Chain A
Amino acid sequence: GENVEQHPSTLSVQEGDSAVIKCTYSDSASNYFPWYKQELGKRPQLIIDIRSNVGEKKDQRIAVTLNKTAKHFSLHITETQPEDSAVYFCAGVNQAGTALIFGKGTTLSVSS
């Protein structure tokens, strides 16, 4: 089945710096890659996603890139702010196409 590896597990940056989180997946048939953000004590929420027919997608300060050949995708956050501090999860789709399989998460800390 699908396996999603996420790195790093923790990331600390200064306000204004960029942050990059990387994920690799195992199932070459996967075609949908979302990113969820979970603030402390809150529920995970979708922040951006990408489908396999595009290589990059941007939404203001966040962007996701996909390299299907290498089977990895990345989340890029520019001009980080303290409110970006959270746990970020990447995900891929299971073989049956019925569920999301998540990476173990990256705890991002942005200090001002």
Chain B
Amino acid sequence: KAGVTQTPRYLIKTRGQQVTLSCSPISGHRSVSWYQQTPGQGLQFLFEYFSETQRNKGNFPGRFSGRQFSNSRSEMNVSTLELGDSALYLCASSGGQSGSEKLFFGSGTQLSVL
């Protein structure tokens, strides 16, 4: 069974631009969660999707948004990029009914904002 796949692996953008990151969960998994990882701040929760519905959002500004498609693939979008958005963005899928069960993480997308 293929693991969680995230694309692209690396991204370099400039301030003010927008970016879209993609996540394909493990086949059969319906819950997809997104996290931002930065040194010293650990894994900060962005949002969780289940069956195309966003059920929770973390404490991030409205510039961060996402969606989930009927095949459970998910995308997240960051508009009007700021330098502080530079981070590793991880998505994780879960085979249960929520993102609070065992999570399987992707390798992440490393975003650099210049």
- Which residues of A are at the interface with B, using a C-beta cutoff of 8 A? 6, 9, 32, 34, 36, 42-46, 49, 89, 93-94, 96-105
Q: How far is the CB of A16 from chain B (nearest CB, A)?
A: 28
Q: How long is the Cα–Cα vector from A13 to B35 in the complex, in angstroms?
A: 29
The answer to whether A99 touches B43, judged by C-beta atoms less than 8 angstroms apart, is: no
A36 to B43, CA, bound (A): 11
Contact with A along B93-104 (1 / 0, CB 8 A): 000001111110
Instruction: Write out the residue numbers on chain B whose beta carbons fall within 8 Å of the beta carbon of A34.
Output: 102
Q: Are B98 and A97 in contact (CB under 8 A)?
A: yes
* Residue B106 at the chain A interface, CB threshold 8 Å: yes
The number of residue pairs between A and B whose CB atoms lie closer than 8 Å in the complex comes to 63
CB–CB A44/B43 < 8 A: yes
> Which residues in window 77-114 of B have CB below 8 A to A?
90, 98-103, 105-108
Cβ contacts under 8 Å, B45 to chain A:
94, 99-102
Q: Within the complex, what minimum Cβ distance (angstroms) separates A100 from chain B? A: 6
Q: How distant is the Cα of A27 from the Cα of B56 in the complex, in angstroms?
A: 17
Enumerate chain B residues within 8 angstroms of A36, measured Cβ to Cβ.
103
Q: Are B56 and A96 in contact (CB under 8 A)?
A: yes
| A-contact bits for B33-72, CB 8 A (1 contact / 0 none) | 1010000111111001010000110000000000000000
| Cβ-defined contact, B105 with A98, below 8 A | no
Contact B42 A100 (CB under 8 A): no
Q: Which residue on A lies nearest to B50, using beta carbons?
A: A98
Quick check: B40 and A99 within 8 Å, CB to CB? no
Which residues of A have CB within 8 Å of B101? 32
